[in-house]
Structure formats: C-alpha cells, structure tokens
Amino acid sequence: MAALLWGAGGVVAQPAAGGQRFWAPGDGQPLPAELSFPNASGALGLLNTGGAVDTRGHPFFTPLGTNGRACVSCHQPADGMSLSVATIRERWAATQGRDPMFAMVDGANCPNLPPGERASHSLLLDHGLFRIPRAWPPVGHDGKPITPQFDIQVVRDPTGCNTDAKHGLASAQPTVSVFRRPRPAANLKFITAVGFSFEPKSGLPLLRDPETGQYVSESLMADSRLLTLKAQALDAMRGHLEAQGQLSPEALQRMIDFENQVFVAQGSDRFGSPTDAAGAAGGPKHLAAAKAGVLQNLQRNPMWKEFLPWAAAAASAPATAGGGEAQQRWRASVARGAKLFSQRMFLVKDTGGINTFGFGNPVINSCATCHTMVNSGIDLAPGRVDLGTVNLPWAEPAPHLPLFKLSCKPGHKPHPFLGREVYTHDPGYALTTGRCEDIGKITTQSMRGLASRAPYFANGSAPTLRALVDFYNRRYNIRLSAEEIEDLVNLLGAL
C-alpha cells in the first residue's frame, strides 16, 4: 500500500514492516503478534499476547452482517484499534466512498441522505464521527423503559436526522442521534477492571453482569450503555454491521478473546528509540504485563511514573551531538509532563461527577483527579464526568453537531451547575439513565496510543493533542505556560 497522509501534523508515514496498513473486512491478511505503525510522534506499538492471528474467517475481521463491515472496519490496528480521521479520508479517496465504513446506517450524517456524496458523510470525513442512535425514552439495563426526568427539544439539526420523520425524535421509534468517535477496542482489561464494588461518586453499588452476577466496571462506551464485552459485541453486530443472524457462542468468545489480547501504546519515539529505553517503561509490552485496576496515589503510584526515569537520565546524560541532544530534551519534556499530570494543581470547578460529591466545589487538584487508573488513564470510579466537552457554554463551537435543549421536569434534581434547562450536543450518560444530573457526562477512555487516533474526545472536538490541552487550559483557567503545554502534549504523544 502506498504512503499516506498520517497524524495530526500531516506527517507522511510509511506502511508498517510487511506493507500492511489497512485491514479491509475479510481480506485475509494475517495479523502478526507484534506490529509497529509510524505516526506523528514516532510509532505505535501493537502487541497481541495471544500470538499471530490468522484473520481468515476470524469473527473480528470478517463481515458478519449485510453491509460488508467487520469490527476491524472501525477498529484498525494502525489507529490503535480506533479509527483516525486521516484513515477515514484516505479510504474515502481510495474507494470513492465505497468502503463499507461509509455504510449509510451510521457512517452518514443520516441514513436518509443521498449515498456516495461527500456532504452526506461530512461528520465522518471532517470529524471522525459515527452516528449513535439512542432510543428515547431510554431503556434500562433490565430492559424496562425509564421515565426520563427531562424533555428533549431539537434546537438545531444540521444533519436533519433528529427531526426526520423516519429516524428522528418524533418518529414511530423515537430516536436521539448523537455523533461519536470509535473508542479503542484494545487494552480492554483496564476498561473492564472493577476497582470498587460501589460507585464512589453516588455510593450506589455497581451494576452486575446479568449472566455471571459479577460486578462490572460501567466504563464501556461514552455513556456506559452496555455493561459487558459480550453485550457490546452483540450490539455492534446488530447496529454497525447490520447483522440479522446469530453468531455462534464459540465465534462470539473468539471475538472477545481477541479484543482482550490486544494492547496498543506508543512504541517508539520520533528519534527511532523504543519508549522503554533509558529506564522508562512505555510501549505495549509493559502495558500488557501491568496489573489493571490500580489506583494512582501521589506517593506510590503516580500516573505515568513509567516515564519519570527520563528526568534523571536527561539530567545526568552528557549532551551528545545532533539527534541525541534533541532526544534528551524531548525525554526530559515527557518526564516533566508526567509530573505535571499529577502535580500541576488547578481549580476543578462546576464539573458534574466531580464537584458534586465529597470533594467540594471548586477542588484544587490536577489532571489525575479524573484520570486515576495507573497505566491506562481511565477513571476507576467509574469516570462519568461532565467535563464540558458536550454541554454549552463550555463546549467548543460545533455548528456541525445537533443541539438539544433539555428541560428538567419539576420534582427532580436539576443539572448541578447548569440548572433546569441545559443546551447540549450529546446528553451522554443521561441517555442511559434519564437523569438530569447526568446530562453531558461522558466516560473517560483509554489514554494509550493517542498519537495514532486523532481527533480526540467522544465528539471529536479536539483535532490534535495540543487542542485537547488548550481545551483544559481554557475550561479550568489553568494558565499553563508554553513549556507546560508542550510537556503535556509530549507526554500524551508518548503514551
């Protein structure tokens, strides 16, 4: 496959050793146990702890439904098992929009639009967003309808889907369409790790897997709507793959086993050295070996302590010529970023899911307040937080996204900081619970392999890691210096 445009900085990258960069559904290309894919920060490393995979007939790689898609259509090895907007554009150009990833069901702004036209797929091509149709009113995890605490009105409908007679809120099957990025189908032992038997933020017990009775993490999907990898896979088959038949229990297990074996993390830096050189412990091997569900603790387990050795190495190493010196500077910057992540204090304020319980409002803390699980960066709590990525007035301007007005009914707790009327692009967790206090809460996602899967946040509102850090800087008025911003961006690119 030819070189392609790649990464946030538009770096031209070469295919991985072996030539493979894109796995088309059913193309039968084997997946080696270890792979490396160049990206803007160096190269992503992928490790399959189960060894090389023969993808022929493998349920993750084979079209199982009616639209030609497989799971791999949207969870690509080179993109950290997510799907970058660079890859989406490359496929559009290479196939004139005929790749099954563009299937009208959710790869278009709305299924009612003319197929094959760029404008019909603009949210996917410009922002990497797939349509997520959610039933309204919500249906609970027990299958029973929930009486929502708020009414939804469509204020702005640039895709036409929320007001459409067949697909919209007033249709025979009332549906709210929100638009979201694919979350990585990798590093999943961290996503499914159960840290507490209760939800520390509400004090309520965690939900249980209906089949095994075990507690679940509640950290899958942006809105925690699915509790287990099995429920998730079946839902993806019916929805994304438009499958009508059943998958055999053996095939389903094989799909889930595969997901649980795959680890992705930045594997080497842009100087060509592995991210576990000079005492650091980056890369997928260390990630695969790490214990899941360990809470960060500023003394014993600070977040990203795996990169702290680079501070000492950089300080003690004699300045060598050329690339050597630039690499030492970069390593020192990553190590400073790792420190900043846990130690650079700012006021976390007016944030649903954080300032709504014991912590108080505001609370002085760092990035690690919400990103608490070592090695992965998700919130162990589970981390459904209204960070402001989707609710006005904090969200980035997004004229391309639908805008809803949610009006909380009398007798219910309003949104803790926005009151009874909330304007949002995506009600998030409230689409699962129907509760006003949950409007705009989004579950934290795995923070590894970031450099391979721009744009960021569930609604793709940060096109680059720099834009992501800028969002926090504004949202919490952190006043990061230029050097601090660079250090955080370098850290995120090394994860």
Ramachandran quadrant class, 243 (left: phi over 0; alpha: psi -120 to 50; beta: rest) = beta
Residue 85 touches ligand HEC, criterion: CB under 6 A: no
CA distance from start to end of the chain: 27
Q: Which long-range contacts (CB under 8 A, 24 or more apart) does 225-229 make?
A: 225/134, 225/431, 225/432, 227/141, 228/192, 229/188, 229/192, 229/256, 229/259, 229/260
Taking residues 136 to 175 in sequence order and writing x for each that binds ligand HEC by CB under 6 A, - otherwise, the string is: ----------------------------------------
User: What is the CB neighbour count within 10 angstroms for residue 23?
Assistant: 21
What gap in Å lies between CA 286 and CA 341, rounded to an integer?
20
**385 CB-near residues (< 8 Å, 6+ apart):** 351, 352, 353, 354, 370, 379, 441, 442, 444
Instruction: Give the binding-site size for ligand HEC (rule: CB under 6 A).
Output: 52
Closer residue to ligand HEC (CB): 75 or 328: 75
Residue from 20, 39, 55, 73 in contact with ligand HEC (CB under 6 A) = 73
Taking residues 40 to 59 in sequence order and writing x for each that binds ligand HEC by CB under 6 A, - otherwise, the string is: --------------------
Q: Which stretch binds ligand HEC (CB under 6 A): 167-175, 299-307, 406-414, 456-464?
A: 456-464
- Per the document, the length of the chain is 495
* Minimum CB–partner distance for residue 233 and ligand HEC (Å): 4
Residue from 48, 228, 444, 490 in contact with ligand HEC (CB under 6 A) = 444
Q: Which stretch binds ligand HEC (CB under 6 A): 10-18, 120-128, 260-268, 369-377?
A: 369-377
Closer residue to ligand HEC (CB): 329 or 474: 474
* Minimum CB–partner distance for residue 134 and ligand HEC (Å): 9
Residue 351 and residue 385 in contact, taking contact as beta carbons nearer than 8 Å: yes
- Half-sphere exposure (Cβ direction) of 432: Cα atoms closer than 13 Å: 21
Closer residue to ligand HEC (CB): 226 or 406: 226
User: What is the CB neighbour count within 10 angstroms for residue 475?
Assistant: 19
Residue from 106, 164, 218, 350 in contact with ligand HEC (CB under 6 A) = 106
Q: Which residue in this structure is represented by tokens 């099957």? A: 173
Closer residue to ligand HEC (CB): 113 or 492: 492
Peptide bond into 362 cis (omega under 30): yes
Would you tell me which residues interact with ligand HEC (CB under 6 A)? 69, 71, 73-75, 106-107, 130, 132, 180, 182-183, 185, 191, 220-223, 229, 232-233, 236-237, 240-241, 255, 259, 348, 351, 354, 367, 369-371, 383, 385, 387, 389, 442, 444-447, 450, 456-458, 468-469, 472, 488, 492
